[in-house]
Amino acid sequence: MAEPNIENVRRILVVGSGAMGSQIGMVCALAGYEVTLQDIEEEMLGRAREELERRMGRNVEKGRMGREEVEAAFGRMTFTTDLEGPASEADFVIEAVVERLDVKREVFRRLDRAAPGHAVLATNSSTIVSSRIADATGRPELVCNMHFFNPALVMRCVEVVRNPKTSDATVKTTAELARRVGKEPVVINKEVPGFVANRILHAIRSEALWLYENGVASFEDIDAACRTALGHPMGPFELMDLTGIDVAYHAANSRYEESGDPKDRPAKSIVEKYERGELGRKSGRGWYTYDEEGRRVE
């Protein structure tokens, strides 16, 4: 099996067209790569394209980028429900499907069968380490985490996490790809749940939820304290709404499955919101309420 090399990366396949996958695809297309965005549902792909057009149109209106640049990026993007076809031509794959191990393992099995031997298979997962996925393939040395942060169009950090079998060439290629799409890679040499940034974030979020659930302060005031005293751009409850309360719910369950520590289970208020379908901006309601454009209304 050939070693990966950044100079051979021309075509990128992004699997999953949710908020993260679609924005990762656009980030790569803006950097000049040919990108295929794949999803199992045409409706999801249509929504992804509409949301990208809205976001990029707003960037053009505000003078952040030129219309020609955006049109060229869309010209490099293909939207499809086919997985094996685009995988067979991909030099690099970034998986961004739901945070469920069984789903990811099946996706990686299919990718491994279809993708060229030199293709890196990276997962964007923020909670599932790639060693739990790599053995579903015949190329564990070409599997790693490439974790973008939400919103991927804006956030600069990308965590590149090696598993025990990930090759140095895979880490080098993945980190350099992050640089070439305008991001700043952070290489993590040992798998730990939550990696670096999210472990720190989890500690803040857990404390914020404890303060709220024990009646110490309202979630609005806790958010305000983090913004005005700690200098955070947004509070932990605002951030949960942005990234998705379902993501927080599944991430906590993942940590609990791995650690067996009851403290890692989702907080009561997170479970309640998840079960009510109050998932944050994506559903129009989470800790706060949002309009159709994702702007907070209360």
Assess contact for 110 and 202: CB atoms under 8 A. no
Catalytic residue list contains 198: yes
Catalytic residue list contains 167: no
Q: Which of 118, 147, 202, 250 is catalytic?
A: 147
Assess contact for 127 and 159: CB atoms under 8 A. no
Q: Which of 126, 131, 145, 253 is catalytic?
A: 126
Q: Which of 17, 130, 198, 253 is catalytic?
A: 198
Catalytic residue list contains 159: yes
Q: Which of 99, 141, 159, 238 is catalytic?
A: 159
Give the rounded distance of the alpha carbon of 20 from its chain centre: 5
Catalytic residue list contains 202: no
Active-site residues, by number, are 126, 147, 159, 198
